[in-house]
Structure 1
């Protein structure tokens, strides 16, 4: 591998998934203001945020290959970010209860001569959730660093009736596609 690979994320889930590729990399967290553009669709926003993260890190590492990613949960064409408190987490999980929502992960792979951006969409169906289930889950603290107030890889898996799409994208990185794109860039 001739170029250095950098993951522009502090997400433990993205790190875990990128580890599966076998490519050596380092983590450099991008310090962007993750503000949604009101004129963009959720898909355009998640792609734009991934691009902004990769671009911000590339300014200090112009010869590296940078991976930026962002994940967003959408229901009724409304984006659900990370909840700020228990009340917001409860509202999000009640909104997702018994319904299908879309999880979008935007990815930007940027090197000095290539910028590849894409969005992976996965539909997730939830069982009907009781208030007790929601409260028990929120009490674990797992809701607060995840879009939509749940993580599919943890106890949030107990809410999931089925998924249609890439499971790993719901975790935060469509690792199989990222691996294939990196192979073509790094080798």
Structure 2
């Protein structure tokens, strides 16, 4: 196959973690960040996989529909990550007490982290959902409140950051680590290859 180098990509996300992961995979990538302004509320009783896939596609549609012609030629990546417990998405905590409640529910249990990817270029739309199982060790309330007091829980799915101090809460994971951070690089590299781009 005649591989194309990937020099520029559009990212429909304001997440600094996704930007960092993209540059980890492609250090010289020119990245144009265009966050998607959409309603991320759950619809009815959506399961985790349904929710992340719908939101990733909606983000891609929103940004693609607003692109100037000069940028429409570049690949556009949208993603959505959710923490799922007993089949239900937990969302992000609204405040510190909400984060404490989420972490109490996750303590000593296994949960899933699901990330949906929507990679778009022209008329080609590629989507995928990646699931990682994360097992928390047993946490006491004092430890949970001390972690939340660090401020790291804010705006994080499930109320923790595995790439930060929240790594100390995790006993083990099964599957993709970068998926838990918010962007599964192994799946993204496969999708980029489907578009004809050389990652290495």
**Residues 55 and 110 of structure 1 are in contact (CA less than 8 Å); yes or no, is this contact kept in structure 2?**
no
Q: What secondary structure sits across from 2:30 in the alignment?
A: coil
**Residues 78 and 119 of structure 2 are in contact (CA less than 8 Å); yes or no, is this contact kept in structure 1?**
yes
Q: Which residue of 2 aligns with 1:9?
A: 13
Q: What secondary structure sits across from 2:46 in the alignment?
A: coil
Task: Report 1:14-53 matches (<5 A).
Answer: 14-22=18-26, 23-53=29-59
Structure 2, unmatched stretches of 5+, are none
Provide, for residues 57-110 of structure 1, a one-character-per-residue CA deviation record: whole Å limited to 9, x for no partner.
111224331110010001112211110011111110000000000000111101
What's the TM-score once normalised by structure 2's chain length? Answer: 0.88
Residue from 99, 105, 112 that aligns with 2:122:
112
Further displaced range: 39-48 or 130-139? 39-48
Q: Which residue of 2 aligns with 1:133?
A: 143
**Residues 152 and 160 of structure 2 are in contact (CA less than 8 Å); yes or no, is this contact kept in structure 1?**
yes
Q: Quote the offset at 1:11 in angstroms.
A: 0.6
Q: Quote the offset at 1:42 in angstroms.
A: 1.3
Structure 1, unmatched stretches of 5+, are none
Q: How many positions carry a matched residue from both structures? A: 187
What's the TM-score once normalised by structure 1's chain length? Answer: 0.94
**Residues 107 and 117 of structure 1 are in contact (CA less than 8 Å); yes or no, is this contact kept in structure 2?**
yes
Further displaced range: 20-29 or 94-103? 20-29
Larger radius of gyration: 2
Q: Which residue of 1 aligns with 2:167?
A: 157
Q: Runs ≥4 in structure 1, deviation > 6 angstroms?
A: none
Give the whole-Å Cα distance in 2 for the aligned partners of 1:129 and 1:88: 16
Q: Which residue of 2 aligns with 1:80?
A: 90
RMSD, aligned α-carbons: 1.5
